[in-house]
């Protein structure tokens, strides 16, 4: 569905077929809703914030402007993590999703890897609230532990993980102002990755080494043109090997896997 259809179906509470056969009720309230939706859309508000819904890995997520809208590229990350768990034969994997936002990664992995033990953290209380709601709505509310934490700050130090996953903010601060208005209506705190967009990786890569079990993996989503620098960060951390970089649907380096030695 295109954006127009999505907004119409949402406002008139119908599906796409019903929309085109006129099989929907359009009372004053629906019409007003549609009108306001188009108005917001024209002002650069993303469809997902207008409807409050986004789909990820075939699951439904509530979103609002305190969380990033889940992206299709991130589905590649989730799929490859599932493959990794299977390939390495990790039973009951303990996983940390750092900066979970809407909970897209944590919730879908928990749904698709029924034996995993998931911890999901975020620095934003509002985001954590959205993540919790999404976990509950997808039936995994009791299987994910949500922790309010600035990166690893409040993740109990004694805990070790098989996998640490993060899609941190990675847009270079220098580029933030030239992002399209839709993207700028997402939380800046989830996008602005500081100088060259690398500030979060500089913290996560060395710190994750202390939180990973030997043989565990750090899995990161990265931004355009950052693969070289990220590889260097892994190499200078000294405790990782088997670095693998995967491309997204646009042939851009997007996901990095590194094994804790």
| Pairing relationship of beta strands 253-260 and 212-221 according to DSSP bridges | antiparallel
| Pairing relationship of beta strands 161-166 and 94-98 according to DSSP bridges | parallel
The DSSP line for 155-200 is S-TT--EEEEEE----B-HHHHTTS-HHHHTS-GGGTB-SGGG-HH
Give the nearest distance from C-beta 192 to ligand GLN in angstroms: 8
Give the nearest distance from C-beta 122 to ligand GLN in angstroms: 13
Window contacting ligand GLN (CB under 6 A); options: 14-22, 105-113, 163-171, 201-209: 163-171
Window contacting ligand GLN (CB under 6 A); options: 40-48, 113-121, 167-175, 212-220: 167-175
State the burial class of residue 130 (Cβ atoms within 10 Å of its Cβ: 0-12, 13-18, 19+).
Answer: buried
Q: Can residue 183 be called a binding residue for ligand GLN (CB under 6 A)?
A: yes
Backbone angles phi, psi at 24, to 5 degrees: -150, 155
Q: Which of 95, 191, 205, 212 binds ligand GLN (CB under 6 A)?
A: 191
Residue 220 Cα distances to 36, 132, 180, 243, 258, angstroms:
38, 22, 24, 11, 9
Structure tokens at 152: 């690893």
Residue that has been written with the tokens 């997402």 in this structure: 186
**Is 68 or 90 the residue whose CB approaches ligand GLN more closely?**
68
Q: Can residue 167 be called a binding residue for ligand GLN (CB under 6 A)?
A: yes
Give the nearest distance from C-beta 21 to ligand GLN in angstroms: 36
Taking the alpha carbons at both ends of the chain, their separation in whole angstroms is 45
Residue nearest to ligand GLN (CB): 170
Q: Which of 12, 56, 146, 170 binds ligand GLN (CB under 6 A)?
A: 170
Q: How many residues bind ligand GLN (CB under 6 A)?
A: 9
Give the nearest distance from C-beta 250 to ligand GLN in angstroms: 11
Q: Can residue 220 be called a binding residue for ligand GLN (CB under 6 A)?
A: no
Q: Can residue 66 be called a binding residue for ligand GLN (CB under 6 A)?
A: no
**Is 46 or 168 the residue whose CB approaches ligand GLN more closely?**
168
Torsion 28-30-33-37 (CA) sign = negative
Q: 237, 239, 99, 214: which is closest to 155 by C-alpha?
A: 99
Q: Can residue 71 be called a binding residue for ligand GLN (CB under 6 A)?
A: yes
Query: Which spans of this chain sit near ligand GLN (rule: CB under 6 A)?
Result: 71, 167-171, 183, 191, 193
């Amino acid at each position: 569905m295109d954006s127009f259809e999505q907004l119409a179906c949402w406002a008139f509470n119908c599906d796409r077929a019903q929309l085109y056969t006129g099989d929907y009720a359009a009372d004053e309230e629906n019409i007003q809703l549609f009108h306001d939706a188009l108005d917001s859309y024209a002002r650069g508000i993303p469809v997902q914030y207008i409807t409050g819904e986004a789909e990820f890995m075939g699951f439904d997520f509530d979103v609002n402007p305190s969380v990033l809208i889940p992206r299709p590229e991130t589905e590649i990350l989730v799929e490859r993590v599932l493959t990794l768990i299977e390939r390495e034969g990790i039973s009951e994997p303990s996983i940390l999703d750092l900066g979970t936002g809407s909970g897209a990664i944590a919730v879908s992995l928990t749904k698709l890897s029924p034996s995993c033990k998931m911890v999901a953290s975020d620095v934003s209380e509002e985001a954590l609230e959205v993540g919790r709601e999404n976990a509950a709505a997808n039936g995994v509310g009791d299987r994910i532990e949500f922790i309010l934490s600035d990166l690893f700050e409040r993740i109990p130090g004694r805990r070790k993980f098989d996998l640490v996953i993060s899609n941190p903010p990675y847009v270079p601060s220098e580029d933030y102002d030239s992002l399209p208005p839709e993207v700028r209506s997402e939380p800046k705190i989830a996008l602005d990755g500081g100088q060259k967009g690398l500030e979060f990786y500089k913290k996560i890569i060395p710190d994750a080494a202390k939180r990973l079990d030997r043989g565990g993996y750090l899995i990161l989503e990265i931004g355009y043109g950052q693969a070289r620098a990220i590889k260097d960060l892994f190499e200078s951390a000294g405790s990782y090997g088997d670095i693998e970089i995967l491309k997204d649907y646009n042939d851009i380096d997007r996901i990095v896997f590194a094994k804790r030695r």
